[in-house]
Structure 1
Amino acid sequence: MTVIPPGLAARFTAARQIADAVLLEGYVLYPYRASSAKNRLRWQFGVLVPPGYGKDRAEHSYQRTECLMEPRGGDRLAVELRFLRAQRRTVQQTTADGSFETVERLSLADRVLVPWDEGVEERIELLLPVDELADGEVVRAFRLLAGADEEAVREDGRQVGRLLRRREQLDGVLRLSTQEVPGPCRAVRLTAVVENTADWRPPDDTGRDGALPRALVSAHLLLGLERGSFLSVTDPPEWARAAVAECRNEHTWPVLVGGEGRDDILLSSPIILEDHPQVAPESPGVLYDATEIDEILALRTAALTDQEKREARGTDDRAGAVIDLADSMPAEVLERLHGTVRALREVTAPPAGPDTDRPWWDPGNDPAVDPDHDQVLVDGRQVGAGSRVLLKPGRRRTDAQDLFLHGRTALVEAVLHDVDGSVHLAVTVEGDPGADLWRAQGRFRYFQPDEVEPLEGA
């Protein structure tokens, strides 16, 4: 195994929190039982199947990552290919004569064991000088041999069955190369291709289930420079935009990971992410569900029946950990998950007096905003309370009722800012016989600045 330098290893450790979330995204879905329909079609992201599985399939046998990096003299590149290996588990029960027979379920006091594909984490590591890549493509083939093992299942001191686990042989290759990029700064384009090279073709009666044990599941790359940096593919500097636009990323997407402002570690993910993604600090643990909603999942999981929890614990050790987490979660942790709002504008502390009891989201609690006097620039003109505008609702973000107001004139009553920093214009429609009533009750129609046109003389 390649030894990654201590400095890079520490940075990789921090980046793996995000990489682990990618690795196990959708690994097992609520209610975490193998019998659940949604858990019968698994492994949805980054599945690299054997090339002989068929070119007309929805899944592919390779990933291609291209990005720009700025290495320094004598720099080294660390590459970590990470994926899950599907390990097929068979359940057998002890018979009266001491032999074993394969069964669909084995009921124990604390769990119900069923056949299942477990995910075993695998890593392929490389460390090589960047200058070596300039001399030509570097190819590293790898092979994980087939294997099998068994685990005795005991209850009350006696063996009641066993679990048989089998792993198929996996073959793959990593291809790395660089190319100089012309421009004002020294940069090179890194190309990293991961391929499944298994020499396997499915029998006529074998579908995706036969390919999965020979696939690289949730495959992704962690790339790190010992001294240099990577350029963002999502938001590159102006001088590099044209070169970044020429990068070919297939079946994966590279993003910067690590703390905000770090640019020495890059994650090439089969799930599209933004630069510097973060795991929610309130999250009490990994729930393995796609697009996790921690509070709902924790409450729903805790509400499962004892029998359902036994089935989940017998499905997978990771599912069992989710059940234990939900059962042991303190009330204060659940409270922390409830109603979390991110990216709030900074609100100045309110002055002392009777208004200090107002909630934080009340505009009257923030002296930085004044709905009655604030203005917003629309088509080069200031628009605020008292302005007349022509309504031009956008089709993509309004409901059908708003579309009926297209071309009507309206009076702006207030300029409002929401907690996400967006601006909204509260208006009453001119000619509406109920306008005075709506105004008295503080009930308005709301449009964004690009959905109105200022009227001359307003």
Structure 2
Amino acid sequence: MGDPDHRRGSARDAGSAFEKACAVADAVLYEGYLLYPYRRSSPKNRVRWQFGILAPRAWAEAHGPVAAGLSGSVESWRQQTECLLRAGPDAVVRVRVRYLQTQARSVEQRTEDGRHVPVDRLEAGGSVHLAFDEAVPQERDLVVPLADLLAADREFDVGAPGGEETEHLPGGVGRLVRLRRPVQARTTLGAERLPGPGSLYRLRVRTENTGRSTPAGARRDEALGHALIAAHTLIGGAGLSFVSSIDPPEDVAVFARDCRNLHTFPVLAGEEGSDGLVLSSPIILPDHPQVAPESPGDLHDAAEIDEILTLRTLLLTDDEKREARATDPRAAGILDRVETMPPEVFARLHGAIRSLAPAASGQVSAASHGDGGAGDGGAPRPHVTAPAGQATAVPDQEGAPWTPSSC
């Protein structure tokens, strides 16, 4: 493990593992981004951004209380992941922090005297354009030798700057203006060696919204302009292997119970049987979640099944499809995909048999999701396993909403 060429190769392998896990991570990132029927006028698309929200602290605390172990549609100002790993002396930790930054899209019509005035909708070049909130994906990669984290915590800026972009519409009738507010955030990495035989460590990844410009009494949409949306973390590296938080080996289960995960739930990612990658998500997933190979693309509504959503989308009227296309480019992409889907691809959505073996019964997780301090660490979480590609539904703890896995 001390060979520099080996370490560079291992780092490349870690990066490749991250990219392979992005299909599942993207399902987390865009969970509920725009729900069927994909139109701005739909009531359920008027209250958006419901998962993994890290808002400015003063605003989040004023709208609490928020139990630290809960996730789903609760809004906090921080996330914390703690997981166990085994590592050699030259191990390197790699963390990728991912989230959405909101972007307000306004529509402005050009007047006869050359001014631009805000309007709700505008037709140009045969297309309708609506005012709507979009989102820009943000990623930050952090790479630190494990030895450095054992010596002291390391802090990193993971925020995103604000910005403004203008798109002129055909015919000179107006323009679209996209405005992003700055997001201020930091991620702190730390690690500790655990007692007992073997090279066992606890890794801590803590991400916080550090913005101070949003007053406690601000409207929700104002606070979300400075928030991390659908925040989640990929954790990997070189020269290390992770322990399942859901089903840890018996000899380390006591250490797994002591892990404190705030508003997020870490699971092993990647291929079944691998242990080199963790996905820590605000949505409950099983170890090694996978997107069904039959799925032709993300429908942003993981509480449903691709076949049902595809059929429903095909049944939208021409006026509804027109509004959906005007609502968001991702909605337009979904319409294009389902309307041009070959029959053999659609047929594969009807179902697939992964295994003829009996399904595993529910197991109680050894992972705990507490408040980061002393105590029992929260109630154990039920864990339901399912063959790859089938949805799994797991109830959340302490009354929090649950979300079926899209993977």
Same fold per superposition (TM over 0.5): yes
Equivalent residue, structure 1, for 2:80: 64
Equivalent residue, structure 2, for 1:370: none
Equivalent residue, structure 2, for 1:166: 179
Q: Is the 8 A contact 1:52 1:200 kept in 2?
A: no
After the TM superposition, which residues 126-165 of structure 1 pair with which residues of structure 2 at under 5 Å, given as runs? 126-154=142-170, 158-165=171-178
Q: Which residue identity lines up with residue 298 of structure 2 in the other structure?
A: V
Q: Is the 8 A contact 2:241 2:275 kept in 1?
A: yes
State the SS of the aligned residue for 2:339.
Answer: helix
State the SS of the aligned residue for 2:309.
Answer: helix
Equivalent residue, structure 2, for 1:25: 31
2:303 to 278, 288, 291: 291
Q: Once the two structures are superposed, what CA deviation does each residue of 1:74-102 show, in whole Å capped at 9, x if it has no partner?
A: 11111110000001111111223332211
Q: Could you tell me how far apart the structure 2 residues matched to 1:101 and 1:5 are? A: 51
State the SS of the aligned residue for 1:214.
Answer: coil
Q: Is the 8 A contact 1:183 1:239 kept in 2?
A: no
The answer to whether structure 1 residue 195 and structure 2 residue 201 are counterparts is: no
1:272 to partner: Cα distance? 0.7
The answer to whether structure 1 residue 328 and structure 2 residue 340 are counterparts is: yes
Q: Which residue identity lines up with residue 118 of structure 1 in the other structure?
A: E
State the SS of the aligned residue for 1:144.
Answer: coil
Q: Could you tell me how far apart the structure 2 residues matched to 1:342 and 1:37 are? A: 37
Q: Could you tell me how far apart the structure 2 residues matched to 1:31 and 1:10 are? A: 35
1:109 to partner: Cα distance? 5.8
1:180 to partner: Cα distance? 1.2
State the SS of the aligned residue for 2:173.
Answer: strand
Equivalent residue, structure 1, for 2:373: none
The answer to whether structure 1 residue 178 and structure 2 residue 184 are counterparts is: no
Q: Could you tell me how far apart the structure 1 residues matched to 2:87 and 2:289 are? A: 23
Q: Once the two structures are superposed, what CA deviation does each residue of 1:245-301 show, in whole Å capped at 9, x if it has no partner?
A: 000011000011111111111111010100000101111111111323101111111
Q: Once the two structures are superposed, what CA deviation does each residue of 1:379-434 show, in whole Å capped at 9, x if it has no partner?
A: xxxxxxxxxxxxxxxxxxxxxxxxxxxxxxxxxxxxxxxxx9xxxxxxxxxxxxxx
Unpaired segments ≥5 residues, structure 2: 1-7, 65-73, 359-389, 391-407
Q: Which stretch of structure 1 is more off in the superposition, 102-111 or 67-76? A: 102-111
User: Residue 239 and residue 203 in structure 1: after superposition, are their counterparts in 2 closer, same or farther (change >3 A)?
Assistant: closer
Q: Which residue identity lines up with residue 115 of structure 2 in the other structure?
A: S
Q: How many residues matched?
A: 341
1:121 to 137, 154, 177: 137
* TM, length-normalised to structure 1: 0.72
Q: Could you tell me how far apart the structure 2 residues matched to 1:230 and 1:91 are? A: 48
Q: Which residue identity lines up with residue 322 of structure 2 in the other structure?
A: R
Q: Is the 8 A contact 1:178 1:191 kept in 2?
A: yes
Larger RCO (CA within 8 A; separation ≥ 6)? 2
After the TM superposition, which residues 19-98 of structure 1 pair with which residues of structure 2 at under 5 Å, given as runs? 19-55=25-61, 56-57=63-64, 58-98=74-114
Q: Could you tell me how far apart the structure 1 residues matched to 2:30 and 2:53 are? A: 12
Q: Which residue identity lines up with residue 341 of structure 2 in the other structure?
A: M
Equivalent residue, structure 1, for 2:238: 226
Q: Could you tell me how far apart the structure 1 residues matched to 2:286 and 2:318 are? A: 40
Q: Which stretch of structure 1 is more off in the superposition, 134-143 or 72-81? A: 134-143
1:112 to partner: Cα distance? 2.3
Equivalent residue, structure 2, for 1:395: none
Q: Is the 8 A contact 1:111 1:311 kept in 2?
A: no
State the SS of the aligned residue for 2:262.
Answer: coil
Q: Which residue identity lines up with residue 45 of structure 2 in the other structure?
A: N
Q: Is the 8 A contact 1:71 1:228 kept in 2?
A: yes
1:110 to partner: Cα distance? 4.9
After the TM superposition, which residues 97-116 of structure 1 pair with which residues of structure 2 at under 5 Å, given as runs? 97-108=113-124, 110-116=126-132
Q: Could you tell me how far apart the structure 2 residues matched to 1:67 and 1:110 are? A: 53
Q: Which stretch of structure 1 is more off in the superposition, 245-254 or 47-56? A: 47-56
State the SS of the aligned residue for 2:75.
Answer: coil
State the SS of the aligned residue for 2:208.
Answer: strand
Q: Could you tell me how far apart the structure 2 residues matched to 1:111 and 1:215 are? A: 31
Runs of 4+ in 1 over 4 A off after TM superposition: none
Identity among equivalent pairs (%): 45
1:130 to partner: Cα distance? 0.4
Q: Could you tell me how far apart the structure 2 residues matched to 1:83 and 1:292 are? A: 23
1:335 to partner: Cα distance? 1.2
* TM, length-normalised to structure 2: 0.80
Equivalent residue, structure 2, for 1:369: none
